[in-house]
Amino acid sequence: MNLRIPFNRVSWITSTFLIGTFLMSISIVPYHIWHNGVDAFQICLFLFYYFATGFSITLGYHRLFSHLAFKAKWPVKLFTLLFGAAAFENAALDWVSDHRRHHKHVDEEDDPYDISKGFFHAHIGWLLFKLKPKPPMDNVADLRKDKLIMWQYKWCHYIGVFVGFILPYILGYFYGGHQAALSAFLLSGILRVVVVQQGTFCINSLCHYMGRQPYSASCSARDSGIMALVTFGEGYHNYHHEFQHDYRNGVKAWQFDPTKWIIWVLSKFGLTSGLRRVADEKILLAEINETRRKIDASLIEYANKDSSAYQEIINKSIEQLKLLKQKFDENYSQLEAAINEKINVSKETTMQWKHDVNNAMDHLTVLKNSGFTLQPIT
């Protein structure tokens, strides 16, 4: 079996670190826990590092630095830069450059983690096999003006090793000697790095592979409530790609987005400001437009069905879809005109349109699952 590994493109330092920490997390770490157990201190330290480094990526690297979705005072910036380095996902400047390129060229050749090149590539392959020559970092001129970001860029790996590995070891040592120090290094250091990184990698892979597309199907990004649970709220990726400068990913009240909540809470203490939000009307307009597109696709699919045994049912389904299409064409035109003319839409009308979207999606789901029939339109 010839794997044809492109050894000339292997990023050896990155690959050794990623593979080495992963192997340790599934071998040495469980072996150590089995023989030495784990106490409340180790659990609390792990959880602190897990949340500190995870939110430093989602809140700091992603929403603050990549998308400028809000402004932050220096304590917030410093915290996310220190613990972001401890996540070992490179310096903020590198991370942001890759991510901005991803948004600009999503699903195209210049997308660093292009899902069309395969799940493995999008998840971790793009890190193991770097492009040579490396794309120029010509999209982060704004961040180069920030002294804290440039300080972290210069010392990132040293900061990461100290904050991510040495500091947990020191804390463990003061708590319970060498044994506790080793446990802290393995759990809050090695295991935590792997868990946080895999969560981040899932945003690049699974969030472009599974889930719904309620806002746009123009790219592969998808919304997944399940993924939001393990990515600090980043799972609503279809919304994010449609409205990337919004400080929220989970825009609905019931959606799990702790990163959004932290940014909002910090704003109440004056540590963050200028929280950017997309107007509800524009969000609803995107949902209506995407529903129209799905209805059009279903109409084409039904028109191409050729089965005399089901022709009567097919014809009825087509008529139902046409009624839905007419309703959403009217809703879209009215809402678009209201936005352009800066006319406030009543809460009752907005709620009705949202109900129409949900009702239509239910109809389309039934259609897809049944193959032929829809529920009556209400």
List, for residues 111-144, the tens digit of each pLDDT value: 999 999 999 999 999 999 887 677 888 999 999 9
Instruction: State the pLDDT at residue 163.
Output: 97
Instruction: State the pLDDT at residue 74.
Output: 97
Same domain, 187 and 293: no
Same domain, 149 and 16: yes
Same domain, 29 and 141: yes
Please report which confidence band the pLDDT of residue 376 belongs to, taking 50, 70 and 90 as the band edges: very low
230 in a structural domain: no
What is the mean predicted confidence (pLDDT) over 47-56?
Answer: 98
What is the mean predicted confidence (pLDDT) over 320-336?
Answer: 67
Residue after which a domain boundary falls, among 160, 195, 210 = 210
**Residue 216 confidence (pLDDT) above 70:** yes
Look at the chain and report how many structural domains it folds into. 2
Higher per-residue confidence, 258 vs 352: 258
Residue after which a domain boundary falls, among 210, 242, 271 = 210
How far is residue 39's CA from residue 45's CA, in Å, rounded to a whole number?
10
172 in a structural domain: yes
Instruction: State the pLDDT at residue 1.
Output: 41
**Residue 259 confidence (pLDDT) above 70:** yes
Domain enclosing residue 191, as ranges: 7-210
| Mean pLDDT value across the chain | 87
Same domain, 83 and 162: yes
Higher per-residue confidence, 190 vs 332: 190
Q: Which of 54-58, 210-214, 361-365 has the lowest mean pLDDT?
A: 361-365
Same domain, 333 and 191: no
Tell me phi and psi for residue 140, to 5 degrees. Answer: -130, 30
**Residue 293 confidence (pLDDT) above 70:** yes
240 in a structural domain: no
Same domain, 203 and 287: no
Q: Which of 11-20, 257-266, 269-278, 351-360 has the lowest mean pLDDT?
A: 351-360
Residue after which a domain boundary falls, among 195, 210, 225 = 210
Q: Which of 56-60, 182-186, 230-234, 321-325 has the lowest mean pLDDT?
A: 321-325
* Torsion angle defined by CA atoms of residues 13, 17, 19 and 20, in that order, rounded to the nearest 10 degrees: 120
Residue 136 preceded by cis peptide, ω within 30: no
Please report which confidence band the pLDDT of residue 2 belongs to, taking 50, 70 and 90 as the band edges: very low
Same domain, 178 and 285: no
What percent of the chain is predicted at pLDDT more than 90? 66
What is the mean predicted confidence (pLDDT) over 309-314?
Answer: 51
SS3 per-residue string spanning the chain: CCCCCCHHHECHHHHHHHHHHHHHHHCHHHHHHHHHCCCHHHHHHHHHHHHHHHHHHHHHHHHHHHCCCCEECHHHHHHHHHHHHHCCCCCHHHHHHHHHHHHHCCCCCCCCCCHHHCHHHHHHHHHHECCCCCCCCCCCCCHHHCHHHHHHHHHHHHHHHHHHHHHHHHHHHHHHHHHHHHHHHHHHHHHHHHHHHHHHHHHHCHHHCCCECCCCCCCCCCECHHHHHHCCCCCEHHHHHHCCCCCCCCCCCCCCCHHHHHHHHHHHCCCEECCCCCCHHHHHHHHHHHHHHHHHHHHHHHHCCCCHHHHHHHHHHHHHHHHHHHHHHHHHHHHHHHHHCCCCCCHHHHHHHHHHHHHHHHHHHHHHHHCCCCCCCC
Instruction: State the pLDDT at residue 279.
Output: 84
Same domain, 183 and 105: yes
Please report which confidence band the pLDDT of residue 358 belongs to, taking 50, 70 and 90 as the band edges: confident
300 in a structural domain: yes
**Residue 336 confidence (pLDDT) above 70:** no
Same domain, 177 and 31: yes
Instruction: State the pLDDT at residue 287.
Output: 84
What is the mean predicted confidence (pLDDT) over 155-159?
Answer: 97
Total-model pTM: 0.85
